[in-house]
């Protein structure tokens, strides 16, 4: 029996000990009508060899693409050690560290993670993870509503330069509580939220969300935005890419006072693309908001003999203690991804992380040059950016992307649906994993496809005159 160790003899002994005749007797409290379930449409069990074959085939079907899509999920090199250690049974198959003394491995690692994240973001406090970047933003919004005691409006300003999915997810999660996400337009030249366009008197606003870099890869004027918000008693929620932080001003140092809450997608720190998950959301904040923080937090303490050790702390914020008054309903988080991220950061170190960021950016810059040279392709925004850029295509993007995909190339992320006003736009990213040859492959493929589409579009028309 798959994964069931019982022998017939043992089953007999056990039933005897219980005092029943059959296993079915153990279900005798369940109303008879309910236990007749069948599940005939589920296929019969197969063994590991057979499912191996299926999975190898299916993985093979989708494999070996050349990927220039980013848009919140980035292909970075992940050191082999990261997942070889992360999937060790002791990390992989442990539960949430409720029995601290038997979970010091996970707990110390999480404490180290918290430390790394506070250092990367220049904030005081980090929790031990949320589900992903988008849902972390939703939690940040809820947290801001709790934390900003001066605001009653539950009004959150959200620039349209923020990842569209993040806006959707945040709305899904917070709107039932009467929280309103009010969108701010972006500057069509710069592709950023122009601080000059912010109202002098915004009224009662709970928080302003500032992405850095924003969804277009463009850098926002984080200092001015932060100061403007603080001047109006508005909390600042930063949404950042942790790899970018190796190069960019950490949110804790934005403007005069720094951001109040920081969140983002942890995926770039050691998580494979993996169809979008599991990733992890990170969240940091200033010390004074620690009791509003959702999710688990690990603290350093001492044992009976005074030796340092680590344990879950401030649990009174959490659902298993506070129930309907908890800061969030989150229970299971993304611990294993945090394990990977911690090992990733330790293996890269400050200089390695900086080089990953710089090298990704340099590759994207080279790609910008190459694509810029193609007729019918133009870079859309002119402001400084980080490792991702928007291109407009004169020809139908759908056709181009389809043609690329046939060659195994994922050309980028289409913006048409979420930003119809931009027209035929594609968000393109080249991380440190791309070689010069890869960049040329994309550029040349686009060149070829454009020519072909151009030709198809204007079939040689018999000249009339």
Partner 1 sequence: MLIFERSKPGRVNAPQAPLTEQACDDIPQQFRRKQRAALPEVSEMQAVRHYTRLSQQNFSIDTHFYPLGSCTMKYNPRGCNTLSMLPGFLQRHPQSPANLSQGFFACMYELQEILKEVTGMQAVSLAPMAGAQGEFAGVAMIRAYHKANNDEGRTEILVPDAAHGTNPATATMCNYKVKEIPTNAEGDVDLETLKQLVGPHTAGIMLTNPSTLGVFERHIQEIADIVHQAGGLLYYDGANLNAILGKVKPGDMGFDVIHMNLHKTFSTPHGGGGPGAGPVGVSKRLEPFLPVPLVARVKDEYHLLTEKDRPQSMGQLSAFMGNAGVLLRAYVYARMLGREGMQRVAEYATLNANYMMALMARAGFDLAYPGRRATHEFIVSLKKQARELGVNAMDFAKRLLDYGFHAPTTYFPLLVPECLLIEPTETEDKTVLDGFVEVMQKIAEEAKHDPEKLKGAPYTMPVRRLDDIKAAKELDLAWNG
Ligand X SMILES: Cc1ncc(COP(=O)(O)O)c(C=O)c1O
Q: Which 289-348 residues touch ligand X, going by CB under 6 A?
A: 331-332
The answer to whether the Cα torsion of 168, 425, 436, 214 is positive or negative is negative
Rounded to whole angstroms, the Cα distance separating 298 from 278 reads 22
Within 10 angstroms of residue 97's Cβ, the number of other Cβ atoms is: 23
**How far apart are CB 351 and its own copies at their closest, in Å?**
12
Instruction: Give me 274's structure tokens.
Output: 């993996």
Indicate which single residue of 49, 59, 304, 458 sits in contact with its own copies (rule: CB under 8 A): 49
Residue 455 near partner 1 by CB under 8 A: no
x-or-dash string of contact with its own copies, 389-428, rule CB under 8 A: ----------------------------------------
CA torsion, ordered 338, 344, 350, 351, to nearest 10 deg: -160
Peptide bond preceding 326: is omega within 30 degrees of 0, i.e. cis?
no
Instruction: Give me 279's structure tokens.
Output: 């990733």
Whether 186 and 193 have beta carbons less than 8 Å apart is answered as: yes
Residue 372 near partner 1 by CB under 8 A: no
Residue 60 near its own copies by CB under 8 A: yes
Residue 379 near partner 1 by CB under 8 A: no
- Residue 28's binding partner out of its own copies, ligand X, partner 1, none, with CB under 5 to 8 Å set by partner kind: partner 1
Rounded to whole angstroms, the Cα distance separating 210 from 263 reads 10
Q: Which residue, 267 or 360, has its beta carbon nearer to its own copies?
A: 360
Instruction: Give me 180's structure tokens.
Output: 């309103």
Residue 177 near its own copies by CB under 8 A: no
Indicate which single residue of 21, 24, 48, 417 sits in contact with its own copies (rule: CB under 8 A): 48
Whether 154 and 178 have beta carbons less than 8 Å apart is answered as: yes
Q: Which residue, 87 or 189, has its beta carbon nearer to its own copies?
A: 87
Q: Which residue, 54 or 316, has its beta carbon nearer to ligand X?
A: 316
Question: Would you mind telling me the total number of residues written for the chain in this entry?
Answer: 465
Residue 305 phi/psi, 5-degree rounding, is -100, 10
- Residue 443's binding partner out of ligand X, partner 1, its own copies, none, with CB under 5 to 8 Å set by partner kind: none
**How far apart are CB 92 and its own copies at their closest, in Å?**
9
Residue 26 near ligand X by CB under 6 A: no
Sheet holding 425-428, edge to edge: 377-379, 389-393, 425-428, 413-414
Size of the site for its own copies (CB under 8 A): 15
Q: Would you tell me which residues interact with ligand X (CB under 6 A)? A: 331-332
User: Given the rule CB under 8 A, which residues bind its own copies?
Assistant: 48-49, 52-53, 60, 64, 77, 79-80, 84, 87-88, 432-433, 435
């Amino acid at each position: 029996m798959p994964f069931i160790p019982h022998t017939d003899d043992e089953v007999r002994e056990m039933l005897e000990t219980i005092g029943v005749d059959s296993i079915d007797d153990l279900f005798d409290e369940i109303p008879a009508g309910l236990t007749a379930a069948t599940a005939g449409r589920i296929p019969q069990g197969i063994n590991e060899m057979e499912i191996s074959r299926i999975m190898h085939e299916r993985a093979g079907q989708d494999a070996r693409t050349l990927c220039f899509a980013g848009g919140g999920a980035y292909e970075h090199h992940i050191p082999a050690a990261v997942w070889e250690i992360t999937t060790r049974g002791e990390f992989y198959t442990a539960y949430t560290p409720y029995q601290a003394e038997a979970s010091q491995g996970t707990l110390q690692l999480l404490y180290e993670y918290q430390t790394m994240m506070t250092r990367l973001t220049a904030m005081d406090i980090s929790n031990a993870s949320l589900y992903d970047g988008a849902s972390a933003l939703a939690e940040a919004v809820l947290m801001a509503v709790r934390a900003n005691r001066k605001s009653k409006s539950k009004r959150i300003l959200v620039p349209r330069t923020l990842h569209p999915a993040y806006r959707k997810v945040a709305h899904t999660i917070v709107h039932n509580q009467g929280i309103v996400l009010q969108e701010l337009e972006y500057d069509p030249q710069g592709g950023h939220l122009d601080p000059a366009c912010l109202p002098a008197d915004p009224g009662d606003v709970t928080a302003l969300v500032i992405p850095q870099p924003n969804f277009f890869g463009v850098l926002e004027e984080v200092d001015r935005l932060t100061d403007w918000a603080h001047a109006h008693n508005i909390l600042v929620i930063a949404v950042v890419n942790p790899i970018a932080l190796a190069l960019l001003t950490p949110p804790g140092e934005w403007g005069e006072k720094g951001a109040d809450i920081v969140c983002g997608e942890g995926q770039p720190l050691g998580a494979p693309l993996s169809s979008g998950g599991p990733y992890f959301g990170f969240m940091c904040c200033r010390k004074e908001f620690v009791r509003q923080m959702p999710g688990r937090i690990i603290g350093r303490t001492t044992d009976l003999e005074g030796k340092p050790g680590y344990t879950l702390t401030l649990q009174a914020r959490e659902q298993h203690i506070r129930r309907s008054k908890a800061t969030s309903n989150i229970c299971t988080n993304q611990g294993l991804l945090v394990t990977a991220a911690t090992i990733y950061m330790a293996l890269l170190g400050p200089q390695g992380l900086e080089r990953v960021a710089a090298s990704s950016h340099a590759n994207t810059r080279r790609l910008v040059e190459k694509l810029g040279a193609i007729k019918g392709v133009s870079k859309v925004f002119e402001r400084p950016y980080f490792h991702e850029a928007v291109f407009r295509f004169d020809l139908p993007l759908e056709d181009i992307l389809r043609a690329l995909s046939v060659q195994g190339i994922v050309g980028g992320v289409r913006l048409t649906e979420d930003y119809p006003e931009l027209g035929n736009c594609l968000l393109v990213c080249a991380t440190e994993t791309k070689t010069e040859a890869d960049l040329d492959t994309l550029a040349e493929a686009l060149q070829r496809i454009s020519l072909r589409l151009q030709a198809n579009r204007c079939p040689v028309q018999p000249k009339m005159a």
